[in-house]
Amino acid sequence: MKSVLRMLPARINELIMKIPTKKLDEVEEIRLRVNRQVEVASNGNPYFLPYLFTKEDADQFISKLANHSFYTLDEELRKGYITIEGGHRVGLAGKVILENGFVKAIRHLSSFNIRIAREKVGAAEKYIPYLFHQDWKNTMIIGPPQTGKTTLLRDIARLISSGVHDRNIPSLKTGIVDERSEIAGCVHGVPQLHFGPRIDVLDACPKAEGMMMMIRSMSPNVLIVDEIGRAEDSLAIMEAVNAGIILMMTTHGKNYEEVSKRPLLKPIIEQRVFARFIELSRSDGPGTIMSIKDASGIPVVMSRRAAGLHD
The pLDDT averaged over each successive group of 10 residues in the chain (311 residues) is 89 93 90 98 92 95 75 71 86 88 83 90 94 97 93 96 96 95 86 91 94 96 95 95 97 96 94 97 88 95 50 43
Total Cβ atoms within 10 A of residue 311: 5
Mention every residue, 6+ apart, whose C-beta is less than 8 A from residue 7: 61, 64, 65, 84
Query: Distance between CA atoms of 111 and 114, rounded to whole angstroms?
Result: 10
pLDDT of residue 104: 80
Phi-psi region of 27 (alpha: psi -120 to 50; beta: other; left: phi over 0): beta
> 221-255: per-residue pLDDT in tens?
999 999 999 999 999 999 999 999 999 999 999 99
- Residue 270, burial from CB neighbour count under 10 angstroms (0-12, 13-18, 19+): exposed
**Whether 113 contacts 29, CB under 8 Å:** yes
What's the pLDDT at 211? 97
pLDDT given for residue 187 in this prediction: 81
Q: What is the pLDDT of residue 140?
A: 98
Q: What is the pLDDT of residues 42-97, one digit of tens each?
A: 988 999 999 999 999 999 998 888 874 555 667 777 778 888 888 888 999 999 88
Per-residue DSSP letter, 148: S
Could you tell me the domains of the chain? 2-115 (3.30.450.90), 125-307 (3.40.50.300)
The rounded distance, in Å, linking the Cα atoms of 181 and 262 is: 26
Alpha-carbon span 20 to 17, nearest angstrom: 8
Quote the CA–CA distance of 163 and 148 in Å, as a whole number.
22
Burial of residue 75 (CB within 10 Å: 0-12, 13-18, 19+) is exposed
Question: Which stretches does DSSP call E strand in the chain?
Answer: 27-33, 36-42, 45-53, 81-83, 89-99, 102-115, 132-133, 135-136, 139-143, 174-178, 199-203, 222-225, 246-252, 276-281, 288-293
Supply the pTM of this predicted model. Answer: 0.81
The pLDDT value recorded for residue 306 is: 42
pLDDT of residue 70: 56
Please give the DSSP secondary-structure letter assigned to residue 290: E
Task: Supply the pLDDT for residue 11.
Answer: 93
The count of other CB atoms within 10 Å of the CB of residue 17 is 10
Residue ranges of the alpha helices (H) in 163-284? 207-217, 231-242, 256-259, 266-270
Alpha-carbon distance values, 186 to 66, 77, 82 (Å):
16, 16, 10
How many whole angstroms separate alpha carbon 207 and alpha carbon 176? Answer: 10
**Sign (positive/negative) of CA torsion 233, 266, 281, 302?**
negative
Query: Strands 36-42 and 132-133, how do they pair?
Result: unpaired
